[in-house]
Amino acid sequence: MPTPNNLPADGVVNLVNELLGKAISRRASDVHFEPGNHEMKVRYRLDGVLNDVDSLPAALAENMVARLKVLSGLLTYRTDVPQEGSFPADSQWEKDGRSLDIRVATFPTIWGERAVVRLLYSVGTVNELDGLGLPVDLVTDLRRAVEKPHGLLLVTGPAGSGKSTTLYALARYILAKIPGRSVVSLEDPVEQRIEGMTQIQVSPYGELNYIRAMRSLLRQDVQVLLVGEIRDAETAHIVVEASLTGHLVMSTLHSGDPAEAIVRLLEMGIAPYQLAGAISVVCSQRLLRTVCKSCGGKGECEDCSGIGYLGRTACGQIAVMDETLRQAVLARRPVGELRRMLNERGSDLATDAKRLIEQGRTTIDEVMRVLGAA
For Zn ion, give the closer residue by CB, 291 or 357: 291
Please, which residues bridge with residue 186 across strands? 200, 227
- Report the nearest approach of Zn ion to the CB of residue 25 (Å): 16
Strand order through the sheet with 279-291: 198-201, 183-187, 224-227, 248-253, 151-156, 279-291, 309-320
Question: Mind giving me the DSSP string for 184-219?
Answer: EEEESS--S--TTSEEEE--TTSSS-HHHHHHHHTT
Please answer whether residues 365 and 308 qualify as being in contact, where contact means their C-beta atoms are separated by less than 8 angstroms: no
Residue 83: CB atoms within 10 Å: 19
Shortest distance (Å) from residue 303 CB to Zn ion: 5
26 or 143: CB nearest Zn ion = 26
Give start and end residues of each alpha helix (H) in 207-334.
210-217, 233-244, 258-267, 272-278, 323-330
| Near Zn ion in 105-134, by CB under 5 A | none
Which of 292/318 has CB closer to Zn ion? 292
Q: What angle do CA 116, 117, 122 make, to 5 degrees?
A: 145
Compare residues 245 and 294 and give the one whose CB is closer to Zn ion: 294
- CA 189 to CA 200: how far, in whole Å? 9
Q: How far is CA 118 from the centre of its chain?
A: 12
Cβ nearer to Zn ion, comparing 133 with 308: 308
CB 353 within 8 A of CB 315: yes
State which residue, 347 or 363, has the beta carbon closest to Zn ion. 363
Between 258 and 308, CB nearer to Zn ion: 308
SS3 320: strand
Per-residue exposure over 163-185, b if at least 16 CB sit within 10 Å of its own CB, e if not: bbbbbbbbbbbbbeeeeeeebbb
Binders of Zn ion among residues 276 to 335 (CB under 5 A) are 292, 294-295, 301, 303-304
The nearest distance, CB 47 to Zn ion, in angstroms, is 12
Shortest distance in whole angstroms from residue 361 CB to Zn ion: 14
Instruction: Reduce the DSSP state of residue 312 to 3 states and report it.
Output: strand
CB of 256 to Zn ion, least distance (A): 31
Q: Are 289 and 366 in contact (CB under 8 A)?
A: yes
Beta carbon of residue 313, minimum distance to Zn ion (angstroms, whole number): 16
Nearest CB to Zn ion, comparing residues 307 and 330: 307
DSSP SS3 for 46? strand
Nearer to Zn ion, 178 or 295 (CB): 295
Please state the closest distance from residue 295 (CB atom) to Zn ion, in A: 3
Q: Examine residue 356 and tell whether it contacts Zn ion (CB under 5 A).
A: no
**Least distance CB 254 / Zn ion (angstroms):** 32
Write down the least CB distance from residue 32 to Zn ion, Å: 23
DSSP letter at 33?
E
Q: Min. distance of Cβ 30 from Zn ion in angstroms?
A: 21
State the Cα–Cα distance between residues 352 and 58, nearest whole angstrom. 45
Contacts of 209 (CB under 8 A, 6+ apart): 202, 203
Residue closer to Zn ion, measured from CB, 228 or 297: 297
Residues near Zn ion, by CB under 5 A:
292, 294-295, 301, 303-304
